[in-house]
């Protein structure tokens, strides 16, 4: 005996831009801040004195290709 099975039609997923935009902006600002600390936190652009931040992100600098030596 065979049974007829109806294939469900896919329902398009709507992404509410107004609800996700604040999160996207927050993640973008955090990403830029992380890139600053990894890429530019030393020398003339340094916010903090000493090399503590540089040493904290030292391996990430080399992983991303930023020269530091």
Quick: pLDDT tens for 2-19.
Answer: 788 888 888 888 888 899
- Total residues found in the chain within this entry: 69
What pLDDT does residue 14 have? 87
The mean pLDDT of the chain is 82
pTM: 0.59
Q: What confidence tier does 45 reach under pLDDT thresholds 50, 70, 90?
A: low
DSSP labels, 1-26: -----PPPPPPPPP--HHHHHHHHHH
Average pLDDT over residues 34-43: 75
């Amino acid at each position: 005996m065979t049974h007829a099975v109806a294939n469900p039609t896919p329902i398009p997923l709507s992404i509410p831009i107004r609800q996700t935009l604040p999160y996207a902006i927050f993640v973008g600002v955090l990403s830029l801040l992380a890139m600053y600390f990894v890429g530019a936190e030393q020398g003339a652009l340094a916010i903090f004195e000493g090399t503590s931040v540089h040493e904290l992100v030292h391996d990430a600098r080399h992983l991303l290709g930023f020269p530091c030596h």
